[in-house]
Structure 1
Amino acid sequence: MRKRLVILGGGESGVGTAVLGKQKGFDVFVSDKGAIKPQYKEVLNDNEIEWEELQHTEAKILNADVVMKSPGIPDKVALVEQLKVNNVEVVSEIEFAAKYTKSTIVGITGSNGKTTTSLLTYHLLKDELNVGLAGNIGDSFALQVASQTHQNFVLELSSFQLDGIRTFKPYVAVITNISEDHLDRYDYKFENYIASKFRITMNQTEKDYLVYDADDKVIEKYLKENKIKASLIPFSIERKLEQGVYIDNNNIKLTIKEQTLTMPIKDLALEGKHNVKNAMAAAAVANLLKIRKSTIRESLSNFQGVEHRLEKVLKIQNVQYINDSKATNVNATFYALDSMQVPTVWIVGGVDKGNDYAELLPLVNEKVKAIICLGSDNEKLKYVFNGTVDVLVETDSMEEAVKMAYKIADKGENVLLSPACASFDLFDNYEDRGRQFKEAVRKL
């Protein structure tokens, strides 16, 4: 009797898992409460996989042996609760696919910087290793396991993906940082979200590695209070480390076991303190996977940045427009504001995820000349920032926000889109928000 694999969500991870499941002999069924995109329907039909959209037929779902749930579906949904009552195993794509590969896995998580660190790590490895890039980024991990023979994988992992793992174990785990995010999915308890991030290391052994930011108080506190089996590789821009990666005389200095590497910060392709940390994490991974020092240095100096992350769009009348739409939480916006060197018109707002904007007040006082709120509900922003800047205006479209910024900004200043919020009130996702910003700037 073939085992039944039911997949909730017919997006990238769902369809990838369906293809891998079919290949491994499962009886596969894909169910999506929304509409499935035409390109995904084509893949499902080509592979003769049964699917439904715009509904969940419980009779076809509750008889599963294993369910792969899309990371966007909360655990508290009635259907998922019912599956758990029935003792049906509910896993993430990462958990399902990892069972079918013997590849060396690098897993990267964190509240901010995980996309840049994942892309940067992949960039450092790809010249010398056969490596795939997946997880929250690119083609699905499951599809790559089904169709390609990578000996190594770099996986960008969200807390939602980590919530669905049981036995998944990366050889190298990276935690870039932990700050309040997605608290609406974690009962508004920060400790639940922290524990979720640390699931990345829960199955690691002494032979595996955990690379982490030693300046992050949340991470440091967790490590003091909880036993971690993996070998710890810290990185820091605040203090020297006997083992790990740190700053010495404006050089990044890496010392891991007997290996050492030195590189001037000025040679890094990416600017900003947060990117120094991303580079440190990526360099540590590359060193652990035995990439040559010359390759690490060269790759760190020629890496092209990530779209929607402090992306310089255009200079108009000597005003620099910067797209940081990927800043969907307060901590990411903190980094963005911190890196501004001239007075800045700040476009902020969207769907609040339980944000505490107060920690941005010192930076707003120092760097921000005007605030443009862009969201369907700006009350919290207005409450926190009223009185800190001379100009605070509300807009309800990207075009209007950009036109307003154009009027307010003077020569030599910046206009920064760094929303600190999710995008789903006015946009499809943060990419759509960033593209609309760039489009509106080009129309000025």
Structure 2
Amino acid sequence: MTDKSKIVVLGAGESGVGAAFLAQQQGYDVFVSDFGAIADHYKQQLIDWNIRFEEKQHTEEEILTAIEVIKSPGIPEKAPIIKKTKEKGIPVISEIEFAGRYTEAKIIGITGSNGKTTTTSLTYHILKDAGLNVGLAGNIGKSFAYQVATEKFDLYVLELSSFMLDDMYRFKVDIAILLNITPDHLDRYDYKMENYAASKFRITQNQTNNDYFIYCADDPETIKVMAGRRIEAQLLPFSIEKKIEPGAYLEQDNIVINTHKQNFQMSITDLALQGKHNIYNSMASGIAAKVLELRNPSIRDSMSNFKNIEHRLESVGKISGISFINDSKATNVNSTWYALESMTTDVILILGGVDKGNDYSMLKDLVKQKVRAIVCLGKDNKRIHDAFEDVVEVIVNTYSAEEAVQVSYHLAKKGDTVLLSPACASFDLFKNYEDRGNQFKQAVREL
């Protein structure tokens, strides 16, 4: 028997706790259940708000009487409690889907295998600098649901992972940005690229011809999927390989954006974010800004003074002429490819962690050109050794950030860069990629 007023939230992280607060505000009886331990500050919030919760278990009698279940993006479809919930016919949705019901704000949604946090942060920075009343949420910042409950923004910039998109059904994005599709999280998609790509394209569902779809015309997977489906939204592609109108392209060293009577140009040398991948990110953000008809001087200023997010190609400093860069957020091979592609010195590369079925072959050419030694940071480094032993003479195993930094420092020469860009998840030795990045930075400071 379902309770018509009861909503269950599975997972008590940022998104779950925010969803619980919004559900309570909307008059629902709310129960929060987390199979793991709940962090103290989230537990305190639930206590303060008088929301019932449990941790380290899922009580089925409680969960299976809900009218709806709001699921944390980290919980896979194959989890027993999700299977049982769906068998009972109880809808399972994301925090984003739920929160979207209670806001009239315009939504810019950004997804892609790589660059989405940078592009989301840059887009938000451009809009906020232009004086718009804008919120930042999704995979970044404060929970979307909590902001919907407590703020009155006219516009949100949302970073949307494929896991979030999987549990979104009626939610509509006014301006959708798809940066790229490269192999990632394939363990969640039956190791089928087409399943993962279809998940990314859910960002276009429910769009009408009054909406916009901004995408990379140079990304083969994106183009492949588009050939087989109808997109209702107005298309605004971007490319650094060919001239595109309407959309964005590179002319000599200038980004050129043309969107229905809106024109913009900016030299790539003036961009705060350097590297080929960041030209793409800047184009995507720039198109969104021009769709909103922001003034060119304001966009230029924002694109030139933007500070990148922590743990993404973050400069930690120089010691004895050796540069240290923290790119701990690079949890897949493609992110590491982008990091290496932007390096202009010889590199000591720190790789490793929880391997999600990585194909390291795409890194081989860059590693051959730029990497003098690989320092593995993970419990099981066999696949890294197998992939690179014929390309790099020195491959060393380490089991802590401190050890990895010290070994890298001794292997590096003056003028080299020590780059932490692991291409793997961090859960074998660290709490998360932030913890890995912070430990790396601390170890650099202690040299």
State the TM bucket, normalised to the shorter chain: over 0.9
Map of 1:317 onto structure 2:
320
Q: Which amino acid aligns with 2:5?
A: K
Pick aligned residue for 2:65 from 63, 66, 72? 63
Superposed displacement of residue 42, structure 1: 2.0
Q: Which amino acid aligns with 2:82?
A: V
Residues 1:433 and 2:436 aligned together? yes
| Preserved contact between residue 70 and residue 92 of structure 2 (Cα < 8 Å) | yes
1:155-174 equivalences in 2 (<5 Å) = 155-174=158-177
Map of 2:378 onto structure 1:
375
Pick aligned residue for 1:14 from 13, 16, 21? 16
1:196-215 equivalences in 2 (<5 Å) = 196-215=199-218
Q: Which amino acid aligns with 1:422?
A: A
Consecutive unaligned residues in structure 2, runs of 5 or more: none
Residues 1:224 and 2:227 aligned together? yes
1:254-333 equivalences in 2 (<5 Å) = 254-333=257-336
1:116-131 equivalences in 2 (<5 Å) = 116-127=118-129, 128-131=131-134
Map of 2:40 onto structure 1:
38
SS class of match (2:266): strand
Q: Which amino acid aligns with 1:180?
A: P
Pick aligned residue for 2:29 from 20, 27, 30? 27
| Preserved contact between residue 2 and residue 25 of structure 1 (Cα < 8 Å) | no
Map of 1:74 onto structure 2:
76
- 2: CA distance, partners of 1:243 / 1:327: 32
- 2: CA distance, partners of 1:253 / 1:121: 17
Map of 2:415 onto structure 1:
412
| CA deviation map 1:151-179 (0-9, x unaligned) | 10000010000000010111000011110
Superposed displacement of residue 8, structure 1: 0.4
| CA deviation map 1:247-267 (0-9, x unaligned) | 112011000111111111111
SS class of match (1:126): helix
Q: Matched residue pairs, number?
A: 444
- 2: CA distance, partners of 1:227 / 1:380: 40
Map of 1:347 onto structure 2:
350
- 1: CA distance, partners of 2:238 / 2:207: 19
| Preserved contact between residue 2 and residue 27 of structure 1 (Cα < 8 Å) | no
- 2: CA distance, partners of 1:2 / 1:370: 60
| Displacement over 4 Å in runs of 4+ | none
Superposed displacement of residue 55, structure 1: 1.0
Consecutive unaligned residues in structure 1, runs of 5 or more: none
Q: Which amino acid aligns with 1:56?
A: H
- 1: CA distance, partners of 2:194 / 2:357: 14
| Preserved contact between residue 118 and residue 308 of structure 2 (Cα < 8 Å) | yes
SS class of match (2:328): coil
Residues 1:237 and 2:240 aligned together? yes
| CA deviation map 1:246-297 (0-9, x unaligned) | 1112011000111111111111111111111111111111111121111111
Q: Which amino acid aligns with 1:415?
A: V
Superposed displacement of residue 2, structure 1: 5.0
Q: Which amino acid aligns with 2:440?
A: F
SS class of match (2:107): strand
Pick aligned residue for 2:396 from 386, 393, 398? 393
Map of 2:187 onto structure 1:
184
Map of 2:253 onto structure 1:
250
- 2: CA distance, partners of 1:42 / 1:363: 48
| Preserved contact between residue 351 and residue 420 of structure 2 (Cα < 8 Å) | yes
Q: Which amino acid aligns with 2:313?
A: L
| CA deviation map 1:186-220 (0-9, x unaligned) | 11111111110100101111111111111111101
The TM-score with structure 1 as length reference comes to: 0.99
Map of 2:364 onto structure 1:
361
% identity of equivalent residues: 57
Pick aligned residue for 2:88 from 86, 89, 102? 86
| Preserved contact between residue 353 and residue 429 of structure 2 (Cα < 8 Å) | yes
Q: Which amino acid aligns with 1:424?
A: F
RMSD over aligned CA atoms reads: 0.9
- 1: CA distance, partners of 2:310 / 2:347: 20
| Preserved contact between residue 4 and residue 67 of structure 2 (Cα < 8 Å) | no
- 2: CA distance, partners of 1:90 / 1:295: 42
Map of 2:50 onto structure 1:
48
| Preserved contact between residue 312 and residue 321 of structure 1 (Cα < 8 Å) | yes
| Preserved contact between residue 247 and residue 253 of structure 1 (Cα < 8 Å) | yes
- 1: CA distance, partners of 2:327 / 2:38: 29
Superposed displacement of residue 392, structure 1: 0.9
- 1: CA distance, partners of 2:38 / 2:407: 37
SS class of match (1:211): strand
- 1: CA distance, partners of 2:80 / 2:266: 52
| Preserved contact between residue 252 and residue 280 of structure 1 (Cα < 8 Å) | yes
- 1: CA distance, partners of 2:228 / 2:91: 30
| Preserved contact between residue 262 and residue 293 of structure 2 (Cα < 8 Å) | no
- 2: CA distance, partners of 1:41 / 1:398: 30
- 1: CA distance, partners of 2:117 / 2:424: 17
